[in-house]
């Protein structure tokens, strides 16, 4: 460590590493994105229409899947997929204890019961063995979560699901562009939900989609996502002046607009560049922190192509006289934004009625007590990464147990 690394941390009265605040995330929006949205605004066609259809087609080509249905969010995609699969009251659905609440909300809103499994420590996805151990005669489906930008142990989970005749719906909110053993995420399970929220690798500001090789699931999803309007009635959006429509079922209002789809289209054109820069930022973090005795760095499972939606480090509690919450506060004092992904589902008030007394999640508990998500986005400079590492080292040395 050189002298600047052992200065007093800002939280203890020292001068912050940065004068300006580095946010946890900043969207990568350029002039091409702005032109794409502006062209749509000037076209006079704002809601679901030709840009949304084109976005779906381009997503199909990128993912290599038969069907893509764009909807208002990944949350909507998961919920509608479960409905299209016939999941409902009396059914159980397996998923990870380490995920955002929307994964479990999607299950609950169908009337089914969520059953949580502990994680494994290589990908932070759900443990295939724990998923299997929590399966019962009522289990109808499994929602594995691809955490942080790399595939979970989806090959093992797929084998488990097939052996129990379970439907497999992948939560790939973090996983657009990820690959597992040569297979793109989106082409493995019965269906895969993606998020295009503002912080995601590809953004349409708000939005998401469901990818599936099942024509039946895609058809049902399209109907459910727009008021239950029959598939044929969608033709009225491609023939101006057509007034006829038929309501086939009690649907929802989960469509996505052409305004948002136009941003998604523009972002999709440069997705490889965006993912490359994320990988470069992650590699710089790994290089600079690799010899640190204070931090456990994220691992990439063999066969996985990581998209680095998140870069999560684990504090080595035995080396630090500071807990995770205080460490996050100390980084903020250095003008470094960070976050925590995620508060485990079972810790939230809404999940209390579903938690049984014998539910234990020791690996998730250990992870949550020590995890810090560092800033990572394509617009970060190498100097930004260096500032984050300097701040981390300054804090760690001050609070060292070594």
Which sequence positions are flagged as catalytic? 200
Relative to beta strand 371-374, strand 311-315 is: antiparallel
Q: Say which DSSP state 19 is in.
A: S
Contact 1, 392 (CB under 8 A): no
| Closest C-alpha to 154, from 126, 193, 122 | 126
d(CA 264, CA 279): 21
Vertex 8, ends 7 and 12: CA angle to 5°? 165
Q: What is the largest CA-CA distance in the chain?
A: 74
Q: Are strands 311-315 and 295-296 parallel, antiparallel or unpaired?
A: antiparallel
Both tokens assigned to 167: 């439907």
Q: In whole angstroms, what is the distance from residue 81 CA to residue 210 CA?
A: 8
Angle 178-193-139 from CA coordinates, rounded to 5°:
110
Q: Which of 112, 114, 116 has its CA nearest to residue 90?
A: 112
Token pair listed for 138: 């009522």
SS3 content of the chain, % helix, strand, coil (to 5): 40, 15, 40
- The region, left, alpha or beta by phi > 0 then psi within -120 to 50, assigned to residue 20 is beta
- What does the DSSP assignment read for 109-122? HTT-EEEEE-B-TT
Beta bridge partners of 253: 226
Assigned token pair, 65: 């899947």
Helix (H) or strand (E) holding 311: strand 311-315
Name the one residue in this structure whose structure tokens are 């490889």.
272
Supply the angle between the helices 31-43 and 258-269 in degrees, to the nearest 10.
150
Q: 313: how many CB neighbours lie within 10 A of its CB? A: 22
Q: Which two tokens stand for residue 92?
A: 């159980």
Structural contact between residues 110 and 160, judged by C-beta atoms closer than 8 angstroms: no
């Amino acid at each position: 460590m050189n002298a600047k690394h052992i200065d007093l941390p800002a939280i203890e009265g020292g001068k912050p590493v940065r004068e300006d605040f580095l946010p946890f995330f900043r969207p990568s929006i350029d002039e091409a994105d702005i032109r794409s949205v502006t062209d749509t605004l000037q076209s006079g066609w704002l809601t679901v229409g030709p840009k949304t259809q084109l976005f779906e087609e381009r997503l199909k080509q990128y993912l290599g899947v038969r069907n893509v249905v764009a909807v208002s969010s990944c949350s909507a995609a998961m919920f509608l997929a479960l409905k299209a699969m016939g999941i409902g009251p009396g059914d159980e659905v397996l998923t990870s204890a380490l995920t955002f609440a929307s994964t479990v909300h999607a299950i609950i809103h169908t009337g089914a019961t969520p059953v949580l499994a502990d994680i494994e420590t290589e990908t932070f996805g759900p443990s295939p063995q724990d998923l299997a151990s929590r399966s019962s005669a009522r289990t109808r489906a499994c929602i594995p979560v691809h955490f942080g930008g790399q595939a979970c142990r989806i090959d093992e989970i797929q084998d488990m699901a097939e052996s129990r005749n379970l439907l497999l719906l992948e939560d790939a909110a973090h996983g657009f562009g990820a690959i597992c053993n040569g297979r793109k995420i989106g082409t493995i399970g019965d269906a895969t939900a993606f998020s295009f929220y503002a912080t995601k690798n590809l953004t349409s500001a708000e939005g998401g989609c469901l990818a599936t090789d099942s024509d039946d699931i895609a058809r049902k999803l399209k109907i459910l996502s727009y008021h239950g309007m029959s598939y044929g009635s969608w033709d009225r959006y491609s023939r101006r002046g057509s007034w006829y429509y038929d309501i086939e079922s009690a649907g929802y209002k989960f469509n996505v607009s052409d305004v948002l789809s136009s941003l998604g289209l523009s972002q999709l054109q440069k997705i490889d560049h965006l993912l490359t820069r994320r990988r470069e930022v992650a590699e710089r973090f790994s290089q600079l922190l690799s010899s640190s005795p204070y931090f456990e760095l994220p691992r990439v499972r063999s066969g996985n192509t990581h998209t680095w939606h998140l870069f999560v480090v684990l504090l080595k509690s035995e080396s630090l006289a500071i807990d995770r919450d205080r460490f996050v506060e100390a980084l903020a004092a250095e003008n470094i934004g960070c976050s925590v992904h995620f508060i485990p589902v079972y810790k939230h008030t809404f999940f209390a009625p579903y938690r049984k007394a014998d539910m234990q999640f020791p690996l998730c508990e250990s992870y949550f007590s020590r995890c810090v998500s560092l800033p990572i986005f394509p617009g970060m400079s190498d100097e930004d990464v260096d500032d984050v590492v300097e701040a981390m080292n300054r804090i760690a040395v001050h609070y060292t147990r070594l």
